[in-house]
Structure 1
């Protein structure tokens, strides 16, 4: 009975590996071209590098101001993700456990805000913040990330918290636990699957974001890694090879984070799907 299934299993494996290769093609092209001279890149961008020349990485590290940009990206990503997760989970809990009419209205307002494209409001947003002299500040950027990230987080947590039995919290209340302590010690640990999922999505979003930081952070010493790669663009040309090296260096931190947390990420997403 197993033999007829072997060709089907082989076909599925082949399709999966083929899809993996297709998804890896952009990253492999960037990696290959990061070891070339710009001249060779322009001549044939899909050819293999003639040698492993790391001068592009040295050039990118110096011209991008990599260390300062890395620190800026790390601070903004870590603080932004933490704020989104904390406020999203607490707001979702409030909407589920407190049956106030205003909560229903606010929940649907948040859902409606998710349908508005950022490009529609980015110019008025920048004009308002500029008139209030609130641009060129990390705090302003973090506040905007909270505004754009919390609605989706609340929507995700809301559906997950509805599946948690309220009897667990009642037991804690009977033991004398406060509402806040019950949330952090009983409810929040049960939200680990959805929290891990949102953590991955928000880290990728904020770390790789170019448009919003480019509108808010104007000073060179505040630039994030995606903004610092623009150092290789001039008025009439682009230095492609150091740019590719800079992109690889920008990708590596998130890739390393995923390699360290892959078991927790897969487990969290799997438990969230089962939930």
Structure 2
């Protein structure tokens, strides 16, 4: 019996080790090649660099306009995530506390909209906003992110708000709070675990997104970090070394955020779906 348990634990350990390697291999591959020259990468991409050099990172930092692109990504991500969290929490709270047929159908439409792939609407989206002269604008991109991100956020908040006792809000209103004060002083603080989860998920999505910014942002000064890595692609060639270094510089900030905040993701999703 003990031997069977030991064998089972060993097998699980081996399986988890293999899965860990499969998950981190793309990043290790990227990191290893970011220190190599183009000839080394093309000849043997899996080998370690013959000479350790930070030249690729220096080139990538300058050619990407890293500080400008980082600032654009930071502004877009922070503002979009704040607006998604605030608007979605208020919407979900209104739906839960006002159970009318209109609100129920509206909520169902918002949930159903999540199954529509972005590729199906991106061409009409560009045509419409292009005709309104709203392309190549950071604020237009933030507005689009809020529109695309609210459906999932409202769905998660909706399940969690159901678990917040209405008596808390009634007591606050008896004490003299308005509906707005009740929401921000009573309800929204209770929703903080779910807000953390939604914020992390949206930060990962918006920071790493390439397709939507590539359709909206045209000018080099408005580019986000994922878009700035495209500067290493020429007409007939690719500068692989600086490209790898640029990708590392792009994903490094979001990896740090994820490592510190990952425990909130599953916790918040599970709480919102069960309640």
TM (norm. structure 2) is: 0.94
Deviation of 1:109 (Å):
1.6
Any idea what the Cα deviations from partners look like across 1:118-151, whole Å, max 9, x if unmatched?
Answer: 1111111111111111111111101110111001
- Tell me the residue number matched to 2:104: 104
- Tell me the residue number matched to 2:200: 200
Please list every run of 5 or more consecutive structure 2 residues that lacks an aligned counterpart in the other structure: none
Please list every run of 5 or more consecutive structure 1 residues that lacks an aligned counterpart in the other structure: none
Deviation of 1:2 (Å):
6.4
Closer/same/farther in 2, CA of residues 85 and 267 from structure 1, 3 Å limit:
closer
- Tell me the residue number matched to 1:266: 263
Question: Structure 2: how far apart are the matches of 1:268 and 1:133?
Answer: 37
RMSD: 1.6
The answer as to whether partners of 1:129 and 1:135 remain within 8 angstroms in 2 is yes
Question: Structure 2: how far apart are the matches of 1:185 and 1:3?
Answer: 56
Any idea what the Cα deviations from partners look like across 1:184-230, whole Å, max 9, x if unmatched?
Answer: 12111221222121111100100000110011111110000000000
The answer as to whether partners of 2:92 and 2:161 remain within 8 angstroms in 1 is yes
For residues 1-275 of structure 1, the aligned pairs below 5 Å read 4-259=4-259, 261-262=260-261, 265-267=262-264, 269-270=266-267, 272-273=269-270
Question: Structure 1: how far apart are the matches of 2:209 and 2:269?
Answer: 26
User: Secondary structure in 1 aligned to 2:115?
Assistant: coil
Deviation of 1:271 (Å):
5.7
User: Secondary structure in 1 aligned to 2:238?
Assistant: coil
Any idea what the Cα deviations from partners look like across 1:235-259, whole Å, max 9, x if unmatched?
Answer: 1011111100000000111122234
Question: Structure 1: how far apart are the matches of 2:211 and 2:265?
Answer: 30
The answer as to whether partners of 2:35 and 2:49 remain within 8 angstroms in 1 is yes
User: Secondary structure in 2 aligned to 1:48?
Assistant: coil
The answer as to whether partners of 1:59 and 1:242 remain within 8 angstroms in 2 is yes
Deviation of 1:27 (Å):
0.3
The answer as to whether partners of 1:193 and 1:272 remain within 8 angstroms in 2 is no
Question: Structure 2: how far apart are the matches of 1:55 and 1:267?
Answer: 37
Question: Structure 2: how far apart are the matches of 1:130 and 1:87?
Answer: 26
The answer as to whether partners of 1:60 and 1:242 remain within 8 angstroms in 2 is yes
The answer as to whether partners of 2:196 and 2:268 remain within 8 angstroms in 1 is no
Question: Structure 1: how far apart are the matches of 2:50 and 2:228?
Answer: 28
Closer/same/farther in 2, CA of residues 246 and 196 from structure 1, 3 Å limit:
same
Deviation of 1:166 (Å):
1.4
Deviation of 1:268 (Å):
6.0
TM (norm. structure 1) is: 0.94
